Structure 1
Amino acid sequence: MTDRDETPLTFREIFDLPVSVNLRTAARAFGMCLGTAYRLVGQNAFPCPTVRVGGRHRVLTVDLLNALGIEERPVFADEVADGVALTLFD
């Protein structure tokens, strides 16, 4: 699979991300290829802060969500049905 074959993340996938993600995943969230993401990181122009861990770049999910303009996590109907949403807001 090439970088250009990857589709952007869906809202559901974005809300299921761990605390931090690799640059490829962050790039997918913005709908860009990995090459563009690395170029922007090199220019200090990536849409959100990145953290260099060894030779790799990581992005905190909270920074990713903020850059995407997402301030609150929506509740999905199946989470309510499963009782998951109730524990999130108690």
Structure 2
Amino acid sequence: MTLGELLSLPAAVDLVTAGRAWQFGRTKSHELARRGEFPCPVQRFGNAYRVTRADLLRSLGIDPAQATGPGAE
């Protein structure tokens, strides 16, 4: 994913979308989440996993303030 795509993500994304940011496929993302080894915090809601944009950006070394600061589009 490009920086622009990352910054335009909604406040929370599904696990597959978060995995794409790390260049993980669907299976690898779910394996890591089940083992508690996904690179950022994952929240589980029933059978669904969600990742907040802020946690995802931080795990990638991007300041989440960039997403809302001046010049962010």
Report the TM-score, using the length of structure 1 for normalisation.
Answer: 0.70
Rounded to whole Å, the distance in 1 between the matches of 2:35 and 2:14 is 18
Select the residue among 7, 24, 35 that pairs with 1:43. 35
How far residue 38 of structure 1 moved from its aligned partner, in angstroms, is 0.6
State the TM-score, normalized to the length of structure 2.
0.85
**Residue identity in the other structure for 1:13:** E
1: CA distance, partners of 2:37 / 2:44: 15
**Residue type matched to 2:51 in 1?**
V
Q: CA offset at residue 73 of structure 1? A: 1.4
Gaps of 5+ in 2: none
Following the alignment from structure 2 to structure 1, what is the Cα–Cα distance between the partners of residues 30 and 16?
Answer: 9
Matching residue of 2:9: 17
Runs of 4+ aligned residues of structure 1 deviating over 2 Å after TM superposition are: none
Paired residue for 1:73? 66
Between the aligned residues of both structures, percent identity stands at: 36
Q: Which has the larger radius of gyration?
A: 1
Structure 1: gaps spanning 5 or more residues = 1-8, 75-83
Task: Tell me the alpha carbon deviations over residues 13-53 of structure 1, each in whole angstroms, 9 at most, x when there is no partner.
Answer: 00000100000100001111010011111111000011111
Coordinate RMSD, CA, aligned = 2.0
Count of aligned positions: 70
Counterpart secondary structure, 1:39: helix
1:55 aligned residue: 47
